[in-house]
Amino acid sequence: MKRKDFLKTGLTAGAGLTLPIFTSQKPIPVIRKARNIIFFSYDGFTWEDFSSAQHFSHRNFGKSLHLEKLFHRGAAGSMQSHSLTSMVTDSAAATTTWATGRKIVNGSLSIYPDGEELTTILELAKAEGKATGIVSNTTITHATPAGWIAKHLNRRDEENIAEQYAAFKADVMIGGGVEAFDPNLRSDRKDLFKPFKDSGYSVVTDLEDFRTVQPDKLLAALSEDHVPYEIDRRFRAVPAPTHREMAEKGLAILDGAENGFVLHIESGRIDHANHRTDAGASLWEVIAADETLGMLMEYVDKTPETVLIMASDHGTGGASVYGVGERYRSSSEIHDLLNKRTASFPWIMRELGRNPSEAFIKEILTETTGVHVSESNVRILQQAIAGDNRMPDEAAFPRQPIATLGYVLKGGTNDLPTHLNINYGTTQHTAGAVPAAIYGNGVDAKPFGLIDNTDFFYWMTEAMDIDYQNPEMSPEKAASFYE
């Protein structure tokens, strides 16, 4: 089949780049033409997060993660994540790079600072007659899903992103974020559900309706904001869909599309948990994502013309699991204290309220984390909630007072029965290389080493037999717009 050239490539690359542009722009490994593409993004996920969850799964469930199987059975490696003008990317720039093959500045979605828009992989897929979809446990208009459809200089304008969704009309949109569509919650009182209903979509905001609906096209916004954390769903009976059932619903709708499909699925709350230095919430988000991954691998095994790509967009939090005890022999035992975590940090902070007593703080923290917090640390948390004496350094831990909660739960490393051996370095994103893999459609199970985040776009265009490159901008030119 003759490869298609949709548009001429525009290049504005400058000399002397301030950041390395490392990309092969050739598929690594060799990608065969595929009918379907599933891209599964683990937001804010690091190799250390993988090791922590994998060890926990072995010790507590007696089995490996599906992610370990993916790394063994597929082609796997690491991805560097920097954006156009920063060694540390944000999710908007990162997802844009996947979706367009070009690096942009942080905070923007598929657009350069001069207003030049980029063509996304979902646009190319739609032009080929393929069905398209996005699924996320964040708001569906959040940065990572949005960058595959929307063009905007400000990722936080989710109301406008919802309008762009209404214009694009992907076949499947499943996530949280009623507030971007509901006229009673939008600042302009526009009803963004209406254009979808008028176009024959099933529009669902109720969880039970979501579980029973069998539509051809679906917009499901299942919470006002982000979908609740998995740890709160499991242990606090907070009503929420599982990540797997959201992905499974999207896949069921797209399965059998006449010309195939491209589906982007995000596990976005790993990132949110790591931003909050919340090891328990992060763990259960990884486990929930892994249940989805197992389902997707089964689908790929039964559907040979499907390619599954897994990648993290960047690291978040800089968590590390450290050795404990003589010759580190207590390390695994102390790591098992994750079993005592039964609520997310945001759930705990909401429960504590604005003026909790020392006794109430101790009661809630013991119940939800198993940690017996010292009186001095209880007072530190009280002060942080009141807006004073936040810990640790606010330059590295600006998300407060929730970072202070993580600090007081550490307490000290000598009290082995109660203190978890996971340290966070920050509440921010980090610059390290992150996990990536590709599976199915005859991909050889060989390591591909270190790749760039731009490579994914070319993997996908190769799989769809499309020859396309977006225009390029140099870091210097991009930076000049912010001087």
Structure confidence at residue 326 (pLDDT): 93
Query: Distance between CA 402 and CA 396 in Å, rounded?
Result: 13
Confidence of residue 10 (pLDDT cuts 50, 70, 90): very low
% of the chain beyond a pLDDT of 70: 92
Query: Distance between CA 442 and CA 38 in Å, rounded?
Result: 15
Structure confidence at residue 15 (pLDDT): 38
Checking if the pLDDT of 47 tops 50, the result is yes
pTM, full prediction: 0.93
Checking if the pLDDT of 391 tops 80, the result is no
* pLDDT single digits (tens) 295-336: 999 999 999 899 999 999 999 999 999 999 999 999 999 999
Which CATH fold topology does 21-318+429-478 show? Alkaline Phosphatase, subunit A (3.40.720)
Query: Distance between CA 383 and CA 314 in Å, rounded?
Result: 33
Structure confidence at residue 466 (pLDDT): 96
Structure confidence at residue 16 (pLDDT): 43
Structure confidence at residue 251 (pLDDT): 99
Map out the domains of the chain as residue ranges: 21-318+429-478, 340-421
Q: Return the closest-CA partner of residue 245 out of 226, 268, 262, 222.
A: 222
Structure confidence at residue 481 (pLDDT): 94
Contacts of 48 (CB under 8 A, 6+ apart): 319, 320, 321
Per mean pLDDT, which range of 71-85, 202-216, 231-245, 374-388 is the poorest?
374-388
Confidence of residue 418 (pLDDT cuts 50, 70, 90): low
**Backbone φ and ψ of 314, nearest 5°:** -175, 170
Cβ-contact 147, 159 below 8 angstroms: no
- DSSP annotation string for 49-75: HHHHHHHHHHHHHSS--HHHHHHHHSE
Confidence of residue 30 (pLDDT cuts 50, 70, 90): low
